[in-house]
A = this chain, B = another copy of it.
Amino acid sequence: MNIILVEEQEIHGGRVVLDDRRAVHIHKVLRATVGDRVRVGLVNGPMGSGTLTSVVTGRPPRVELTVELSEHPADRPEIDIILALPRPIMLRRILSQVAALGIGTLFVIQANRVEKSFWDSSLVEEHEYLEHLRHGLEQAVDTRLPHVRIFKKFKPFAEDFLPQVKGDYRFRILAHPYGTSTLAGYLEPGPGRILLAVGPEGGWVDFEVERFAAQGFRCCSIGERILKVDTAVVALHARISAIRELLGQSAK
């Protein structure tokens, strides 16, 4: 936890009282005492610091902070991700990883090779996935919670929803081991949002590839190695970020 995240409704006259895992972290891990300052951020708002005004030991401890939040958060990340629902243990990791890496929106969708039982996971419920996204922000020192949208059926997503939003994206990438394009061959310098679609274990089926292609997605491969979904999401995000930064520099 590299930043303590608080909600608007927890702040009363510049003061915050904590008695959950954040209090435990401040008291037990940081070992902060009255007068110490810790990094604090408002969820979807500014960052700054909190000064400890009271620590009451106990299980859990009770910590009081005076907060000063005046630093603007980072810009909204330019990458959004479409993710075919992976198995719960993997989704949990991916939620915190994409929040840590920085994305705007995560669209979690059904695909042919998604096991039906994955949809029974409580992770697709808001109170659950928000928790893991917050872990990612706490790790990365960010306050901007990614949006999450869930689509339990593929066709309405691909045929009704995608046509409405595709215009928001300058680059639409379908990650595919047999893609003929490369990320470097497709991405260009200059502003514009990026929508990246990552398939299930086993990949997208032909019908899905066609539906994405019909919405202007380019099939891109990052080489012949087949990666697990969680590794692929991080590797793709990192490669896209690196290429965009490098192209941006050379365009100047």
Interface residues of A (CB under 8 A from B): 2, 74, 97, 100-102, 139-142, 182-184, 222, 224-228, 231, 234-239, 241-243, 245-246, 249-250
Contact = CB atoms under 8 A, between A and B. Distances in A.
B141 A227 contact: no
A101 B235 contact: yes
Most B C-beta atoms less than 10 A away, residue of A102, A226, A246: A246
A246 B226 CA distance: 21
18 contacts: A2-B226, A97-B228, A100-B225, A100-B228, A101-B227, A139-B226, A141-B225, A141-B226, A183-B242, A184-B246, A222-B238, A234-B234, A235-B238, A238-B239, A239-B239, A239-B242, A242-B243, A243-B246
Most B C-beta atoms less than 10 A away, residue of A182, A235, A238, A245: A238
Contacts of A182: 245
Contact of A231 (B101, B228, B239): B101
A236 B235 CA distance: 8
A227 to B, nearest CB: 6
7 tightest Cβ-Cβ pairs between the two chains A and B: A238-B238, A235-B238, A140-B225, A239-B242, A234-B234, A242-B242, A184-B246
A245 B220 CA distance: 15
Interface of A is mostly: helix
B100 A231 contact: yes
A246 B140 CA distance: 27
A241 B224 CA distance: 13
B234 A231 contact: yes
Given A101-B227, A140-B226, A184-B246, 19 more contacts: A2-B226, A74-B224, A97-B228, A97-B231, A100-B225, A100-B227, A100-B228, A102-B225, A139-B227, A139-B228, A140-B227, A141-B224, A183-B242, A222-B238, A231-B234, A234-B235, A235-B237, A238-B238, A239-B241
Nearest to A226: B2
A120 to B, nearest CB: 22
